[in-house]
Amino acid sequence: MALLEWTDKMSVGIDTIDADHKKLLSLVNELHSVVRKKESPDTVGRVLRDLMAYADYHFEAEEQLLRLIRYPDLDRHKEIHGKLKDQVAALEERYRDDPKKGSVRMFDFLSDWLMRHILGEDMKYKALLLEKLGKNAQK
């Protein structure tokens, strides 16, 4: 799978959330890099932990923002975030059992999930976000 690249169509209109998304893309790309270079399982594990720690930070910030604008689908959005954590834990376990196969699966899954989530789920709140925050949306 190709490296992930930020495009303007991924913007939700809030600089901090867009910056988080860019950082998440970068961390998924870093995972791809260490897997491609056949780095040690410890290195791959560290990158995955860094990615998930940042994802936790981002999910909390995003969910707070969605609470602020009274996003009607917040519970579902939080559930999707929670499911990702469970899926990554399962992928990490598979990786420990078979690093060669597990690492490719991890990157493919995370790349696909992140792109679908930003372009699909996150775009669902964009209009409400811009409506509620208006010109302040870029802060």
Q: Could you give the percent of the chain with pLDDT greater than 70?
A: 96
Higher per-residue confidence, 138 vs 7: 7
Span between the terminal Cα atoms of the chain, in Å = 33
Backbone φ and ψ of 72, nearest 5°: -65, -20
Alpha helices in 4-137 (DSSP H): 15-36, 41-68, 74-97, 99-116, 123-133
* Helical axes 123-133 vs 41-68, angle rounded to 10°: 40
Q: Which two tokens stand for residue 9?
A: 């169509």
Higher per-residue confidence, 36 vs 26: 26
Q: Which CATH number fits domain 13-134: 3.40.50.970, 1.10.260.40, 3.30.70.141, 1.20.120.50?
A: 1.20.120.50
Is this structure's pTM higher than 0.85? yes
